[in-house]
Amino acid sequence: MCNKHSTIIFHSMDGNFRIDPCMCDIISNLHQCGITTCGCCCGHQKYQQTVVTKVGDVNIEYYTGIVIPRKTRFYKRDKDGIFYIPEVEAMVNKNG
């Protein structure tokens, strides 16, 4: 886990993106496998780690398989400034 304010620039064929430092290896590995990512967050010990992937025209959260209906702004920010995906949190809270 990393500090919620410590992001790095991740360089990929699709451009340069700010991500949590602890997410570099998983994002790099997904890209090497040809999987397109649209966003990620380690959860900062508060939320589940998430990665939004693109499969055709559909955005899917990698770990849960949940389809994210939005084309952008996959994440919401809580009162502490931590990003999370509402659909993933709803599933986690429902399943305990």
Per-residue pLDDT tens listing for the chain (96 residues): 566 567 778 877 677 888 888 999 999 999 999 999 999 999 999 999 999 999 999 999 999 999 999 999 999 999 998 899 999 999 887 876
Q: Tokens in use for 81?
A: 């400034």
Task: Give the H or E element holding residue 24.
Answer: helix 24-32
Question: Which pLDDT score is estimated for 18?
Answer: 84
Q: Provide CB contacts within 8 A for 86, sequence distance 6+.
A: 76
